[in-house]
Amino acid sequence: MIRLGVNLDHIATLRQARGERYPDPVQAALLAEVGGADNITCHLREDRRHIQDRDVFALKDTIQVPLNFEMAATKDMLDLAVKVRPHAVTLVPEKREERTTEGGLDLAASREVLAAATKRLRDSGILVSLFVEPDVKAVTLSKELGADAVEFHTGSFCHKMAATTSTRAQKPLVQRLIDAAATAHHLGLQAHFGHGLNYTNAHWLQVVSHAEEANIGHAIIGRALWVGLKDAVSEMKRLLNDPAFRPLWD
Ligand code: PXP
């Protein structure tokens, strides 16, 4: 079974747009749990554009499934993570001007910072995942840095899949994820996936033998406008775990 992590950042985006107390990410998390979310994900950005510090504490205190806390590897964020003690931290690169997290970590360039952050979090009993591009080199380096998991940035995969309907062109795109996840599995790292996954592409993860978790936000929150959050979550969970799905090239 592929676990579904539901990212609630955009519930907070809507709240912050008006500076009100609603809609509340904690209330959303409880509905997502009812819909079958296996974990709840939130990203506390340096500019606090959506999730706020108190949301992270409130989510940790309220939800019954594990909390996956996304953050940059800065001292302030690490201090906060150690206080909150989520089940997992996913370390992500962060640029203020970006609309969303637009790529994976540059592991080689931030080697010392990431190794120290990973150690500090793991010493506090927190599982550490590194958000990386789906390539074998990034997985090997993640292992060297001491991570427990890698989350593969699926942004480029999703864009390219949307641009083609040819099975011949789709197969190598999926194969890249399969190879990256197989390397992770071989090195004892969990393989997670996230960014840009939606109701027209997430089912492909079922072809990736070692895919363990998908973290999905924008598409689920968007779909919730039409069908409600509980159903939006359960539809996605079914899509990720559909025994009838076979790729056309099989
Ligand atoms: N995983 C990580 C590490 C992210 O930073 C994000 C948000 O960019 C997501 C998953 C969710 O992406 P999306 O909102 O496109 O589903």
pLDDT digits (tens, 9 = 90+) for 111-142: 999 999 999 999 999 999 999 999 999 999 99
**CA 131 – ligand 1 centroid, Å:** 10
- pLDDT at position 250 is 66
Q: Which atom of ligand 1 is nearest to the CA of 220?
A: 16
In tens, the pLDDT along 22-57 reads: 999 999 999 999 999 999 999 999 999 999 999 999
Note whether 210 and 182 are within 8 A (CB).
yes
Q: Where are the beta strands (DSSP E) in 92-141?
A: 127-132
Asked whether the bond before 23 is cis by omega within 30 degrees of 0, the reply is yes
pLDDT in tens, 148-194: 999 999 999 999 999 998 889 999 999 999 999 999 999 999 999 99
pLDDT digits (tens, 9 = 90+) for 78-123: 999 999 999 999 999 988 777 777 789 999 999 999 999 999 999 9
Q: How many CB atoms lie within 10 A of CB 244?
A: 4
**Which residue out of 10, 43, 45, 132 has the highest number of ligand 1 atoms within 8 Å of its CB and is therefore the one to mutate?**
43
Supply the mean pLDDT for the chain.
96
The pLDDT value recorded for residue 10 is 98
- By annotation, the residues acting in catalysis are 43, 70, 195
With beta carbons less than 8 A apart as the criterion, state whether 87 and 39 touch.
yes
Ligand 1, atom nearest to 70 Cα: 3
Position in ligand 1 atom list of the atom nearest CA 155: 15
User: What does the pLDDT read at residue 144?
Assistant: 98
pTM, whole model, 2 decimals? 0.96
Burial grade of 55 (CB within 10 A; 0-12, 13-18, 19 or more): buried
